[in-house]
A and B are shown apart, each in its own frame.
Chain A
Amino acid sequence: ELWKSFLNLKSFLFSYFSFRMIYTKRSDVLMMTPWFAPIVWEGTYNSEILNEQFRQRNVTVGLTVFLACGRSAEATGPTFLETAETYFMVGHRVNYYIFTDRPEEVPKVALKEGRNVVVLQVQNYPRWQEISMRRMEMLSYFSQQRFINEVSYLVCVDVDMKFNDQVGVEILSDLFGTLHPGFYTAERRSFTYEHRPASQAYVPSDEGDFYYAGGFFGGTVTEVYKLTKKCHEAIMVDKANGIEAIWQEESHLNKYFLYHKPTKILSPEYLWDDNLGRPEILKKRRFLAVPKNHAAIRNK
């Protein structure tokens, strides 16, 4: 990597700054929200500058995934980890936090320098919706207990995905969310917010900025802790009232982001499903849904 070849910091700074700042202005997409959160699209940022800024701070990034917990680890784990090694935060320190009920099934993948796998054993739940929602509880617990001492930033993603292109430090911010690939062209009235006032995730029909995806969010450990704690508490209140939000923790996440606006938003490049096609504005498909092998999953 480039940064390795410069031992003297000053000469490194001078050298890399002499690269032409190649960036194109995108006029086809919204680049910033009205509260100054940049929306990250290809062509809007310079990786060299950003990499240098984060290397200087010697940042460690935690990537959290919930593996197996009722599904086959072989179906999803290896592809996720292998592609993460190729594309995720390359050149930076990374801790993969694998939450699983079956630690012995965590795939062994060769890791690059400065990158570790940490396996966290957790309880399994019979319903997949329950598993999905309990992620908030586990993230908030471990953020406070462990992550705060080990990493600067947390990135929380779904596991049935694979990396396909660069996902780097351009995503890092105090609190970031990702635009759901199914809704980034939709108007507010089509957003699938929870519309029943009985739920804690309720969003009135005339409110809402974006529809964020539950499968890719993050930020500093403190901010992720606050988010996951709030969502978990809201889910528990709903449970006590006998209601479950329409899209489980994604509904609660959307409510949180409406009233605690993210400081950076990732474009659908960062969470894409090829079933949605390849629109013109999508210059890169960085993180893709992996087709689920339903037979293999159900038979386990």
Chain B
Amino acid sequence: MKNVSLTMPVIWYRCPFLIYSSGHYRRLKILHTYIFSLISCRRTDVLLVSPWLAPIVWEGTFNRDILNAQYRQKNFVVGVATFAVKKYVRFIEGFLGSANKFFLSGHRVNFYLFTDHPEKVPSINLAPEKRLFIIPVQNYSRWQDISMNRMDIISNHIHSHWRYEVDYLYSMDIDVQMFEHIGVEIIDTLVGTISSWQYTKPRDSNSYERHPESRAAIPHGEGDFYYAASFYGGSVSEVYKLTTACFKGVTEDRANGIEAKWHEESHLNKYLLYHKPTRLLSPEYYWDEELIRPRIIRVKRLSSVRKDLQEVRF
């Protein structure tokens, strides 16, 4: 039984995947590196599907060529919402530069950059299928408020015009850089990224909000994964429902004088516990730079930028 991993030498195959083109089949030559056996698994060290059969995206588990061929037929546009407020404007160049190179390369993406300093946005040469929209936004005195209000802003913008402009929408932190391709494997109806801090911990030591007074509270004994608020997304309608629900929780907490332990991330985790994602991204897709990368994380695709939190937040 042959079992060839994606890191083995490339073997050319006549393409098994045909695309329709005005009534005729047109062969698309693609690299096909993969012969698989049903009885052996390429990655046996990590969980590949969640208990509700949502795929978990790890390096070595997917073939981007097949996915690209499927995706190209549909002519989707993907939106990315990101916020650079106050001192965080310094991260714009690194974010956009690396995203231009590595994020959905070859596919249409609209970057929606919210900032309180539009004049400080550096000019960057984007690839032809990428567009940048700079949207002025108010800043708040507390960084926690800036963070939590992102949900509200995203929800409003989806409602007012993004639902006409894009098919899928992702929210990403600005203080990140990409080092490896992030492609159409992330595209699905509701997508959460497993947090790099929480992946290996047993359930009860997770950072879920546990105080019952908060709307983000998850009772002890409950919970699937801990998701990072730094990178989530999905179809426009699903992200609208998510952001609206999370911000409602934030608002209700504020009215009661409470703030969840990890701010909007706590609310996100509650939402994704009861509205399970249809696809999960492994911590390859958001890696916290402060952590030492374990061997199960073979690729670091997107990682936070080293910074002095005290200095940049206040």
Q: Are B16 and A17 in contact (CB under 8 A)?
A: no
Given A35-B62, A49-B276, A259-B18, also A170-B53 (CB < 8 A): yes
B292 within 8 A of A: no
Pick from B15, B39, B67 the residue with the most CB of A within 10 Å: B39
Q: Are B38 and A53 in contact (CB under 8 A)?
A: no
Partner of A46 from B18, B51, B55, B67 at Cβ < 8 Å: B51
Q: Are A185 and B39 in contact (CB under 8 A)?
A: yes
A interface residues (Cβ-Cβ under 8 A, vs B): 13-14, 17-18, 21, 23, 25-32, 34-36, 38-40, 44-46, 49-50, 53, 170, 179, 184-185, 187-188, 204, 206-210, 258-259, 261, 264, 281
B156 within 8 A of A: no
Given A21-B51, A50-B53, A209-B16, also A30-B41 (CB < 8 A): yes
- Determine the distance from Cα of A29 to Cα of B38 in the docked complex, in whole angstroms: 6
Q: Are B53 and A207 in contact (CB under 8 A)?
A: no
- Determine the distance from Cα of A17 to Cα of B185 in the docked complex, in whole angstroms: 29
Given A49-B276, A50-B53, also A34-B63 (CB < 8 A): yes
Write 10 A-B pairs (CB below 8 A) sorted by A numbering. A25-B44, A30-B37, A31-B41, A31-B48, A34-B34, A36-B62, A36-B279, A38-B53, A46-B51, A187-B1
* Chain B 267-309 near chain A by CB (<8 Å), digits 1 or 0: 0000001101001000000000000000000000000000000
Pick from A14, A17, A26, A32 the residue with the most CB of B within 10 Å: A32
Contacting A at CB under 8 A, from B61-111, are 61-63, 66-67, 70
Pick from A17, A31, A184, A210 the residue with the most CB of B within 10 Å: A31
Stretch at the interface among B145-153, B173-181, B216-224: B216-224
Q: Are A28 and B52 in contact (CB under 8 A)?
A: no
Chain A residue numbers with a CB within 8 Å of B66 are: 34-35, 261
- Determine the distance from Cα of A53 to Cα of B224 in the docked complex, in whole angstroms: 15
- Determine the distance from Cα of A17 to Cα of B203 in the docked complex, in whole angstroms: 13
Q: Are A207 and B185 in contact (CB under 8 A)?
A: no
- List the 4 shortest-distance A-B pairs measured between CB atoms, nearest first: A34-B63, A46-B51, A27-B44, A207-B16
Q: Are B276 and A40 in contact (CB under 8 A)?
A: no
Closest A residue to B19 by CB, please name it: A259
Given A30-B37, A31-B41, A35-B67, also A50-B52 (CB < 8 A): yes
Partner of B39 from A21, A30, A38, A49 at Cβ < 8 Å: A30
Given A30-B37, A209-B16, also A36-B185 (CB < 8 A): yes
Q: Are A30 and B38 in contact (CB under 8 A)?
A: yes
Chain B residue numbers with a CB within 8 Å of A18 are: 219, 221-222
Chain A residue numbers with a CB within 8 Å of B16 are: 207-209, 258-259
- Determine the distance from Cα of A32 to Cα of B56 in the docked complex, in whole angstroms: 10
Q: Are B219 and A14 in contact (CB under 8 A)?
A: yes
B40 within 8 A of A: yes
**Chain A interface main SS type:** loop
Q: Are B221 and A32 in contact (CB under 8 A)?
A: no
Q: Are A264 and B53 in contact (CB under 8 A)?
A: yes
Closest A residue to B61 by CB, please name it: A32
Chain A residue numbers with a CB within 8 Å of B18 are: 259
The minimal Cβ–Cβ distance linking A259 to chain B, given in whole angstroms, is 5
Chain A residue numbers with a CB within 8 Å of B49 are: 31-32, 38, 44-45
- Determine the distance from Cα of A40 to Cα of B13 in the docked complex, in whole angstroms: 28
Partner of B53 from A25, A26, A40, A259 at Cβ < 8 Å: A40
Q: Are A21 and B224 in contact (CB under 8 A)?
A: yes
The minimal Cβ–Cβ distance linking A266 to chain B, given in whole angstroms, is 11
Q: Are B51 and A49 in contact (CB under 8 A)?
A: yes
Chain B residue numbers with a CB within 8 Å of A32 are: 48-49, 55, 61
Q: Are A261 and B70 in contact (CB under 8 A)?
A: yes
Q: Are B53 and A45 in contact (CB under 8 A)?
A: yes
- Determine the distance from Cα of A55 to Cα of B52 in the docked complex, in whole angstroms: 14
Q: Are A17 and B222 in contact (CB under 8 A)?
A: yes
Closest A residue to B273 by CB, please name it: A17
Chain B residue numbers with a CB within 8 Å of A207 are: 13-16
